[in-house]
Chains A and B, each alone.
Chain A
Amino acid sequence: MARIANAAALAAYRKQQRALRPAERKAIAVCAGTGCKAFGGLEVFEAFRAALDAHGLAKTWDLRATGCHGFCERGPLVLFFPEGRLYQRVKPEDVEEIVTRTLLGGEVLERLLYQDPVTGARHEKEHDIPFYRHQRRLVLAQNGQIDPTSLDDYLVLGGYGGLVKALGMDPAAVVAEVKRAGLRGRGGAGFPTGVKWEICRAAQADQRYVICNADEGDPGAFMDRSVIEGNPHLVLEGMLIGAYAIGASQGHVYIRQEYPLAVERLELALAQARALGLLGQDILGSGFSFDVHVSRGGGAFVCGEESAMIASLEGRRGVPRRRPPYPAAQGLHGKPTNINNVETWATVPIILEKGADWFAAIGTAGSKGTKIFSLVGKVNNTGLVEVPMGITLREIVEVIGGGIPGGKAFKAVQTGGPSGGCLPAEKLDVAVDFDSLVREGAMMGSGGMIVMDEDTCMVDVARYFLGFLKFESCGNCTSCRDGLEQLHALVTDIAEGRATSGTLDLLEELAETIRATSLCALGTTAVNPVQSTLRYFRHEYEAHIRDGRCPAKVCKALIHFSINDKCTGCTLCAKNCPQKCITGERKALHVIDQARCIKCGICRDVCKFAAVDVQ
Chain B
Amino acid sequence: MSIRLWIDDREVLAEPGERILEVAQRQGISIPTLCHHPALPVLGACRVCLVEVQQGKRREITTACNTLVQEGMRVATDTAEVRGHRAMNLELLRARAPEAPAVRELATQLGVARSRFRPPAQNPLPNCILCELCVRACAHLGHHALAAVGRGDKKRIGLPHNRPAEACVGCGSCLSVCPTRCILLKETATTRTIWGQTFELVRCKSCGAPVMTEAQRAHAIRTKQLPEDHDDTCELCKQSAASQRLASVVW
Question: What's the Cα separation between A519 and B47 when bound, in Å?
Answer: 9
Q: Which of A325, A506, A510, A516 contacts B61 (CB 8 A)?
A: A516
Q: Please report which residues of chain A, range 311-341, place their CB below 8 angstroms from some CB of chain B when the two chains form the complex.
A: 317, 319, 321-322, 324-325
Give a binary string over A138-150; 1 marks a CB under 8 Å from any B CB, 0 the rest: 0000000000000
The answer to whether B67 touches A302, judged by C-beta atoms less than 8 angstroms apart, is: no
Q: Nearest Cβ distance between residue A317 and chain B, in whole angstroms?
A: 7
**Any B CB within 8 A of the CB of A195:** no
The answer to whether A489 touches B61, judged by C-beta atoms less than 8 angstroms apart, is: no
Task: Number of A interface residues at 8 Å Cβ cutoff, please give it.
Answer: 34
The answer to whether A513 touches B46, judged by C-beta atoms less than 8 angstroms apart, is: no
**Any B CB within 8 A of the CB of A509:** yes
Give a binary string over A468-483; 1 marks a CB under 8 Å from any B CB, 0 the rest: 0111111111110111
Q: Nearest Cβ distance between residue B90 and chain A, in whole angstroms?
A: 9
Q: Which of B42, B47, B84 contacts A477 (CB 8 A)?
A: B47
A506 CB contacts on chain B under 8 angstroms: 116
Of the candidate stretches B91-99, B163-171, B179-187, B212-220, the one touching chain A is: B91-99
Question: What's the Cα separation between A470 and B152 when bound, in Å?
Answer: 5
Pick 19 A–B contacts, CB within 8 A, sort by A: A300-B151, A302-B151, A322-B66, A322-B67, A325-B68, A471-B151, A475-B148, A476-B45, A478-B93, A479-B88, A481-B155, A482-B95, A482-B117, A486-B95, A486-B118, A486-B120, A489-B118, A516-B61, A519-B44
B154 CB contacts on chain A under 8 angstroms: 471, 475
The answer to whether A481 touches B153, judged by C-beta atoms less than 8 angstroms apart, is: yes
A478 CB contacts on chain B under 8 angstroms: 45-48, 89, 92-93, 129-130
Question: What's the Cα separation between A476 and B60 when bound, in Å?
Answer: 19
Q: Nearest Cβ distance between residue B16 and chain A, in whole angstroms?
A: 11
The answer to whether A485 touches B85, judged by C-beta atoms less than 8 angstroms apart, is: no
Q: Please report which residues of chain A, range 459-474, place their CB below 8 angstroms from some CB of chain B when the two chains form the complex.
A: 469-474
Q: Please report which residues of chain B, range 96-124, place their CB below 8 angstroms from some CB of chain A when the two chains form the complex.
A: 96, 116-118, 120-121
The answer to whether B45 touches A471, judged by C-beta atoms less than 8 angstroms apart, is: no
Q: Which of B66, B84, B130 contacts A475 (CB 8 A)?
A: B130
B150 CB contacts on chain A under 8 angstroms: 475
Q: Nearest Cβ distance between residue A275 and chain B, in whole angstroms?
A: 40
**Any A CB within 8 A of the CB of B63:** yes
Most buried by A among B61, B118, B151: B151
The answer to whether B92 touches A486, judged by C-beta atoms less than 8 angstroms apart, is: yes
The answer to whether A484 touches B153, judged by C-beta atoms less than 8 angstroms apart, is: yes
The answer to whether A485 touches B121, judged by C-beta atoms less than 8 angstroms apart, is: yes
| Closest B residue by C-beta to A488 | B153
Q: Which of B48, B88, B129, B153 contacts A509 (CB 8 A)?
A: B88
The answer to whether B153 touches A475, judged by C-beta atoms less than 8 angstroms apart, is: yes
Report, nearest first, the 4 A-B pairs whose CB atoms are least far apart: A475-B155, A513-B88, A482-B92, A322-B66
- Which residues on A are within 8 Å of B, measured CB to CB? 300, 302, 317, 319, 321-322, 324-325, 469-479, 481-486, 489, 506, 509-510, 513, 516-519
**Any A CB within 8 A of the CB of B43:** yes
**Any A CB within 8 A of the CB of B7:** no
The answer to whether B89 touches A479, judged by C-beta atoms less than 8 angstroms apart, is: yes
Known: A479-B88, A513-B84. 16 other contacts (CB 8 A): A317-B148, A469-B152, A471-B153, A473-B152, A474-B155, A475-B153, A476-B44, A478-B47, A478-B93, A482-B96, A482-B153, A485-B120, A486-B95, A506-B116, A513-B88, A517-B85
A321 CB contacts on chain B under 8 angstroms: 66
Question: What's the Cα separation between A478 and B155 when bound, in Å?
Answer: 11
**Any A CB within 8 A of the CB of B178:** no
The answer to whether A322 touches B44, judged by C-beta atoms less than 8 angstroms apart, is: yes
**Any A CB within 8 A of the CB of B201:** no
**Any A CB within 8 A of the CB of B159:** no
Q: Which of B120, B121, B151 contacts A474 (CB 8 A)?
A: B151
A325 CB contacts on chain B under 8 angstroms: 68
**Any A CB within 8 A of the CB of B50:** yes
Question: What's the Cα separation between A481 and B153 when bound, in Å?
Answer: 6
Question: What's the Cα separation between A471 and B42 when bound, in Å?
Answer: 24
Question: What's the Cα separation between A300 and B151 when bound, in Å?
Answer: 9
The answer to whether A472 touches B44, judged by C-beta atoms less than 8 angstroms apart, is: no
A479 CB contacts on chain B under 8 angstroms: 47, 85, 88-89, 92
Q: Which of A324, A470, A483 contacts B92 (CB 8 A)?
A: A483
Give a binary string over B63-97; 1 marks a CB under 8 Å from any A CB, 0 the rest: 10011100000000000010011001100110110
Q: Nearest Cβ distance between residue B220 and chain A, in whole angstroms?
A: 27
The answer to whether B63 touches A470, judged by C-beta atoms less than 8 angstroms apart, is: no
Q: Nearest Cβ distance between residue B101 and chain A, in whole angstroms?
A: 18
A484 CB contacts on chain B under 8 angstroms: 152-153
Give a binary string over B21-60; 1 marks a CB under 8 Å from any A CB, 0 the rest: 0000000000000000000001111111010000000001
Question: What's the Cα separation between A518 and B62 when bound, in Å?
Answer: 8
Most buried by A among B60, B89, B153, B154: B153
The answer to whether B89 touches A513, judged by C-beta atoms less than 8 angstroms apart, is: yes
Question: What's the Cα separation between A513 and B50 when bound, in Å?
Answer: 11
| Closest A residue by C-beta to B90 | A478
Most buried by B among A477, A478, A486: A478
Question: What's the Cα separation between A509 and B81 when bound, in Å?
Answer: 11
Most buried by B among A473, A481, A489: A481
The answer to whether B95 touches A477, judged by C-beta atoms less than 8 angstroms apart, is: no
The answer to whether B68 touches A324, judged by C-beta atoms less than 8 angstroms apart, is: yes
The answer to whether A519 touches B148, judged by C-beta atoms less than 8 angstroms apart, is: no
Most buried by B among A302, A469, A506, A519: A519
| Closest A residue by C-beta to B86 | A517
Q: Nearest Cβ distance between residue B195 and chain A, in whole angstroms?
A: 19
Question: What's the Cα separation between A473 and B151 when bound, in Å?
Answer: 6
Question: What's the Cα separation between A475 and B42 when bound, in Å?
Answer: 16
Question: What's the Cα separation between A211 and B90 when bound, in Å?
Answer: 38
Question: What's the Cα separation between A321 and B65 when bound, in Å?
Answer: 12
Q: Nearest Cβ distance between residue A308 and chain B, in whole angstroms?
A: 10
A509 CB contacts on chain B under 8 angstroms: 88
Question: What's the Cα separation between A509 and B93 when bound, in Å?
Answer: 16
Question: What's the Cα separation between A478 and B92 when bound, in Å?
Answer: 7
Evaluate whether A470 and B153 lie within 8 angstroms (CB atoms) in the complex, with A475-B130, A482-B93, A516-B61 already known: yes
B43 CB contacts on chain A under 8 angstroms: 476
B116 CB contacts on chain A under 8 angstroms: 506
Q: Nearest Cβ distance between residue A484 and chain B, in whole angstroms?
A: 7
The answer to whether B148 touches A485, judged by C-beta atoms less than 8 angstroms apart, is: no
Q: Which of A300, A473, A476, A510 contacts B88 (CB 8 A)?
A: A510
A472 CB contacts on chain B under 8 angstroms: 151-152
Q: Nearest Cβ distance between residue B48 and chain A, in whole angstroms?
A: 8
Question: What's the Cα separation between A470 and B154 when bound, in Å?
Answer: 9
A483 CB contacts on chain B under 8 angstroms: 88-89, 92
Q: Which of B50, B93, B153 contacts A517 (CB 8 A)?
A: B50
Q: Nearest Cβ distance between residue B106 and chain A, in whole angstroms?
A: 12
The answer to whether B152 touches A481, judged by C-beta atoms less than 8 angstroms apart, is: yes
The answer to whether B151 touches A475, judged by C-beta atoms less than 8 angstroms apart, is: yes
Give a binary string over B131-152; 1 marks a CB under 8 Å from any A CB, 0 the rest: 0000000000000000110111
Q: Which of B44, B66, B85, B120 contacts A482 (CB 8 A)?
A: B120
B118 CB contacts on chain A under 8 angstroms: 486, 489
